Structure 1
Amino acid sequence: MENLLDRPWSKFYPTNKEFQVPEIPLYSILERSAEQYGDRTAIIYEHQKMTYRELKDGVDRLAASWRSLGASKGERIGLMLSNHPDYIISYYAAQALGLVVVQINPMYTARELLQLASDSHVTYLVVDPGAIQAVKEVSGIYTFRHIFVSQAEKSSEGSGFHSLEELKHSSHSLDKPAPVSVHEDVAVIQYTGGTTGKMKGAVLTHYNLIANVVQSQYMYGGNMLLGEEVVLTATPLYHVYAMTSAMNLGLYIGGTVLLIKKFEIEDVLDNIREYRPTYFPGVPKMYSAFVNHPGVEDYGLDCIKMCSCGSAPLPIEIIKRFEYLTGSAILEGFGLSEASPSTHRNPTTGVRKIGSIGIPVPGTDCMIVDQNGQELPTNCVGELLIKGPQIMKGYWNNEKETSRSLRDGWLFTGDLATMDEEGYFYIVGRKKEMVIVGGFNIYPQEVESILYEHPHVKEAAVVGIPDQANGEVVKAYIVPKDDCQVDLEEIKGHCYMKLTRYKVPKEFEIRESLPRNTVGKLLKRLLVQEERNREENKRGNERD
């Protein structure tokens, strides 16, 4: 580990000692917490509670069942599960055996599942009942050795299918976990679509994931109490953010994981009122739902003493509104699948800068570089590079993309950012999303932040679209707040008051919704593709 004490952000850490990562496998998180907090509630799900002792027992029995079926270290097991205790049990059972967890969205189609399974060579699959049809379609083309069905008392799906419930109650328990090399052995393959839509599997080791859990705990300092926190887990666990910042971190500190199957605002608010969670790692669409709920102040959100936001930038206006309504500060941060995922967070002590992603988490080095890879001074826009113990080993079975993204230990993120004199970083956009009009660089996030300031705008997205005369122009997509009539000329005037003329969108479009993935991340590439298809059809009609 390099000495980072001369970096401007090092002063925020509570110790001057070099950050150390415990060299332990992921399964040891559960072992330690079950030993220290055996009778404490580990999981609450739909008003059912499970203690740490019960959780470990289910994990060990499932691992023993899988071992008896031939599962061995290094084989890939796909978890195609929504939020349910079976996800947590399956995840840690896989880690106990040294299996590699492949994260799979249970809403994936047969085509998407086949792509992931073929790329990662999945041998075993744990599946939601609602995803069985897609699995059956793929099973005619791709062979899974065993398929384990969640929430099924008995399997009735035919040969190769097993009831996960039966295996969790095996008469045998795991005698000892598989030996793990924490630096070399892969724990998780986390697929990411990036901005291109082509999926790549980020290879995350036990060391990567443990490092990020400890880094996250370190950033919260004395605010996170061992054996006492309740973690509101509404983001899908198959997403790296919830996997690390909710599940793994929650179990590492002996906390209670308040597991929400699907984010429905009324259900979430009812859970908050009943179980009083203290920590909430959320995503923008969730915070937006809170601030737009008319009765949010009646549900006791003041129980939440720590909030973080991941997956996508959070508009400043939503931050201010949420904090005004609840009294809970949102610690903005930054992360990506390739970094397990957290790399930056606003500190709990010292200055919190709204709109900034904060400072690098402990043990992490960062710099801003130009197009030639040369480090830039403060307050200059360039590509964000990151180095640290949480950075992936590479992309699964993809040396070309690995060599492009990892160079001399640095992860080239593809994100455009700046750093101020105090070591706080600001994301201004993606390299591939930056719009160039008349030789001027336009960063969509800046324009979006201005649109969010308008009282009638609920959501906004800004992209560059094809233009025959200029190559591309700026277009804004707007989702109005409920019961609001949006006057586009008024919004355009609002932009002219706040932005230099060349940054003001030339086109506006009202939408009922914006395309997002299941975590709430805005899929701008779909908007751009729509415009390209529209332009091609227009040209085709003109030729006809």
Structure 2
Amino acid sequence: MNLARYCLTNAAPDPGKTALEVVGPGGAILETWTYQRLTDTVLSIASGLKETDLRPGDRILLRVGHSSDFPLLFFGAIAGGFVPIPTSAQLTATEADAVLTDSRAGLIIHDGATTLPEKVACPLFGPGEIVSLKQNTPGGFASSGPNDPAFLIYTSGTSGTPKGVLHAHRAASARRPMYQGWYGMSARDRLLHAGAFNWTYTLGVGLMDPWANGATSIVYDGPRDPDVWAGVIDAIRATLFAAVPSLYRRILKYGTINETSFPSLRHGLTAGEALPATLYEDWTSRTGRELYEALGMSEISTYLSSGPDVPVKAGSPGKPQTGRKVAILAEDGPGDEDMAREGEAGLLAIHRDEPGLMLGYWNRPDETSAAFRGPWFLTGDRAREDADGYYWYEGRADDLMNAFGYRVAPEEVERVLATHPQVQEVAVTAVGAREGVSLITAFVVPQDADTFDVDALAEMAGSRLAEYKRPKVYHVVESLPRTASGKVMRQALAKN
């Protein structure tokens, strides 16, 4: 079971059918890739990588921006039996260096425009090598087992240190419950995803699943102004549209939207952050189309959702997808398998037998073990189940923040801000700005309040943190609230 083979051949698509369209402003088609051309190019890249000194299972760090080269290299590496590491183009050199050091990647492939790690101790393939890889004679898919490593994605850890989530080749076929449980997808669909290629939300929902169903994936490459999306959805005749809730809100705010807008669209899909009931109601009333939410995480993809066969309850992400083993564990239960009572909030958990669950955290066996309670993997989320079987999200059980779909550890941001000479102490947390929108906020105890320069601190943060990790708001405070044991009370700061 090779993940790339599954995605590109599962539906036995017509070789001449369009698999991928990259579109620009106004929906203008920039690139068109048929299934035949896509598969041949992926296998050409696989052949080229096999000619290097890499061994099966070696990691390849991808420092490539928002272009078709990203999925080609990602799936090409997997097709060859290697383990790609997709990374955000927004990462700074310091952040990329941390991923490179931890993963011990044997090769970096970059596009010449994306920031490279500070300390490169492995071969580099640049734009010229990417062109050469695509010109190799296509070979075959590597004979990978379902539990062999397929790709490694880095996410924020509760300690503030990014950690690798290692997925197996079985991760793609394990997404089957989403096909009808969330999308209602068929080979006739044209799915437009608003995210960047490197995001796991885009790799899975925008590429893996459409291709595994013989559908057409469409990715937008152009200005990200909120008023462009309605025109793009309409121009490209998208039947499905996937984005985070905040983008749906901006489309409604900045676009002229009504029931005649984007006539080809059947319904919208949303994940990455909670969908407020008011936003759902606003979208459905103005467009006349459903908006189906799903809840998931990097370690497993989505497992709760509403969909064509699961009517929406506004404010709930839905029910467990068919076949998913999901439970809500008692927060203070003495036993590993003690369940929360009906209607009672508890720890949202996934059974270790779920085939979509990660292999583990890269080189972190203790953290992998600690993520389980008996046979259950703890997601870090809290939830409750109602009498109809719908789950209701009750927030995080830890301090991880959600920044427009990216989970960010406050400790990682705090470590950077604390190095500024004007900062005595600092705490970071997400603070609600309005319903459904939270902003990363820094509470700073300065060395000298009279001379403290918040702009200088923000500038330093901008040079060392990816844009989505940077605080959007800074507050100067005299002290930080702490528990009797000295731990900063971030939740208390968020309420002030």
Per the normalisation by structure 2, the TM-score is 0.77
Listed one character per residue, the Cα deviations across residues 160-218 of structure 1 (whole Å, up to 9, x for unaligned) are xx2x1232123x221x22211112x1111111115553211111111123202x12113
The question of whether the paired residues in 1 share the 8 Å contact of 2:112 and 2:126 is answered with no
The question of whether the paired residues in 1 share the 8 Å contact of 2:65 and 2:113 is answered with no
* Alignment equivalent of 1:376, drawn from 329, 333, 340: 340
Equivalence for 1:534? 477
Equivalence for 1:271? 232
Q: In structure 2, do the counterparts of structure 1 residues 538 and 51 end up closer, same or farther at CA, with 3 Å as the change threshold?
A: closer
The question of whether the paired residues in 1 share the 8 Å contact of 2:340 and 2:346 is answered with yes
The question of whether the paired residues in 1 share the 8 Å contact of 2:60 and 2:83 is answered with yes
The question of whether the paired residues in 1 share the 8 Å contact of 2:230 and 2:255 is answered with no
Equivalence for 1:421? 387
Unaligned runs of 5+ in 1: 1-23, 150-154, 156-161, 435-443, 453-457, 468-516, 540-544
Q: In structure 2, do the counterparts of structure 1 residues 299 and 102 end up closer, same or farther at CA, with 3 Å as the change threshold?
A: farther
Q: In structure 2, do the counterparts of structure 1 residues 145 and 333 end up closer, same or farther at CA, with 3 Å as the change threshold?
A: same
Q: In structure 2, do the counterparts of structure 1 residues 269 and 108 end up closer, same or farther at CA, with 3 Å as the change threshold?
A: same
Q: Distance in 2 between matches of 1:98 and 1:125?
A: 16
Q: Is residue 163 of structure 2 the alignment partner of residue 200 of structure 1? A: yes
Equivalence for 1:394? 360
Equivalence for 2:22? 45
Q: Distance in 2 between matches of 1:293 and 1:103?
A: 32
Shift of 1:34: 8.5
Bigger relative contact order, structure 1 or 2 (CA pairs below 8 A, ≥6 apart): 2
Larger Rg: 1
What is the one-letter code of the residue matched to 2:225?
Answer: E
The question of whether the paired residues in 2 share the 8 Å contact of 1:265 and 1:290 is answered with yes
The question of whether the paired residues in 2 share the 8 Å contact of 1:106 and 1:127 is answered with no
* Alignment equivalent of 1:103, drawn from 86, 89, 109: 86
Listed one character per residue, the Cα deviations across residues 446-469 of structure 1 (whole Å, up to 9, x for unaligned) are x969x53xxxxx9455999899xx
Q: Is residue 325 of structure 2 the alignment partner of residue 365 of structure 1? A: yes
Q: Distance in 2 between matches of 1:246 and 1:45?
A: 12
Equivalence for 1:490? none
Equivalence for 1:167? 133
Shift of 1:264: 3.5
Listed one character per residue, the Cα deviations across residues 426-462 of structure 1 (whole Å, up to 9, x for unaligned) are 111112359xxxxxxxxx99x969x53xxxxx94559
Q: Is residue 349 of structure 2 the alignment partner of residue 385 of structure 1? A: yes
What is the one-letter code of the residue matched to 2:287?
Answer: T
Equivalence for 1:21? none
Q: Is residue 218 of structure 2 the alignment partner of residue 258 of structure 1? A: yes
Equivalence for 1:218? 180
Q: Is residue 106 of structure 2 the alignment partner of residue 145 of structure 1? A: no
Q: Distance in 2 between matches of 1:210 and 1:333?
A: 18
Unaligned runs of 5+ in 2: 24-28, 401-428, 446-464, 483-496
Q: In structure 2, do the counterparts of structure 1 residues 537 and 346 end up closer, same or farther at CA, with 3 Å as the change threshold?
A: closer
Greater shift, 423-432 or 369-378, is seen at: 369-378
The question of whether the paired residues in 2 share the 8 Å contact of 1:346 and 1:352 is answered with yes
Q: In structure 2, do the counterparts of structure 1 residues 189 and 323 end up closer, same or farther at CA, with 3 Å as the change threshold?
A: same
Question: Which secondary structure does the structure 2 equivalent of 1:116 belong to?
Answer: helix
What is the one-letter code of the residue matched to 1:178?
Answer: A
Q: Is residue 276 of structure 2 the alignment partner of residue 315 of structure 1? A: yes
The question of whether the paired residues in 2 share the 8 Å contact of 1:33 and 1:52 is answered with no
Equivalence for 1:324? 285
Shift of 1:55: 0.8
The question of whether the paired residues in 1 share the 8 Å contact of 2:84 and 2:152 is answered with yes
Shift of 1:537: 9.0
Equivalence for 1:124? 107
Query: What is the CA RMSD across the aligned residues, in angstroms?
Result: 3.1
Matches within 5 A, 1:80-99: 80-99=63-82
Question: Which secondary structure does the structure 1 equivalent of 2:43 belong to?
Answer: helix
Shift of 1:353: 0.8
Higher helix share: 1
Q: Distance in 1 between matches of 2:132 and 2:214?
A: 27
Q: Is residue 279 of structure 2 the alignment partner of residue 336 of structure 1? A: no
Q: Distance in 2 between matches of 1:242 and 1:537?
A: 38
Percent identity of the aligned residues?
23
The question of whether the paired residues in 1 share the 8 Å contact of 2:310 and 2:319 is answered with no
The question of whether the paired residues in 2 share the 8 Å contact of 1:433 and 1:463 is answered with no
Q: Is residue 57 of structure 2 the alignment partner of residue 58 of structure 1? A: no
Q: Distance in 2 between matches of 1:229 and 1:267?
A: 21
Q: Is residue 154 of structure 2 the alignment partner of residue 191 of structure 1? A: yes
Q: In structure 2, do the counterparts of structure 1 residues 33 and 432 end up closer, same or farther at CA, with 3 Å as the change threshold?
A: closer
